[in-house]
Amino acid sequence: MKFTALQIAALLGGTVEGDPNVEVWNVAKIEEGAPGMLSFLANPKYTPYIYETKSSVVIVNNSFTAEKPVSATMIRVEDAYASFAKLLAFYDQMSQDKKGISSMAFISSSAQCGENVYVGEFAFLGENVKIGNNVKIYPQVYVGDGSVIGDGTTLYPGVRLYRNTVVGQRCIVHAGAVIGADGFGFAPQADGHYDKIPQVGNVVIDDDVEVGANTTIDRSTMGSTRVHKGVKLDNLVHLAHNVEVGENSALAAQVGVSGSTHLGKNCVVGGQSGFVGHLHIADGSKFGGQCGIMGSIKEENQEFMGTPIQPLRQYLVSNARFRHIDEMARKLDALEKEIERLKSER
Residues marked active site are found at 241
Of residues 267, 178, 187, the one with CA closest to residue 225: 178
CA distances 5 to 9, 56, 113, 167, 226, Å, are: 6, 9, 39, 39, 45
- Alpha carbon of 331 to those of 79, 224, 321, 336, 337: distances in Å? 57, 57, 14, 9, 10
Given a contact cutoff of 8 angstroms between Cβ atoms, the answer to whether 216 and 254 are in contact is no
Residue 248 identity (one-letter amino acid): N
**Nearest residue to 290 (alpha-carbon basis) of 310, 312, 305:** 305
**Whether 68 contacts 48, CB under 8 Å:** no
**Share of the chain residues as helix, strand and coil, in percent rounded to the nearest 5:** 20, 30, 50
Length of the chain: 346
282, 264 contact by CB (below 8 A): yes
Instruction: Characterise 200 by phi-psi region: left (phi > 0), alpha (psi -120 to 50), beta (else).
Output: alpha
Q: How far apart are the first and last CA of the chain?
A: 94
Contact 56, 72 (CB under 8 A): yes
Contact between 192 and 174 under an 8 Å Cβ cutoff? The reply is no
Instruction: Report DSSP state, residue 297.
Output: B
| The Cα angle at residue 145 between residues 142 and 148, in degrees rounded to 5 | 85
The residue type found at 336 is E
One-letter amino acid for residue 104 of the chain: M
Peptide bond into 308 cis (omega under 30): yes
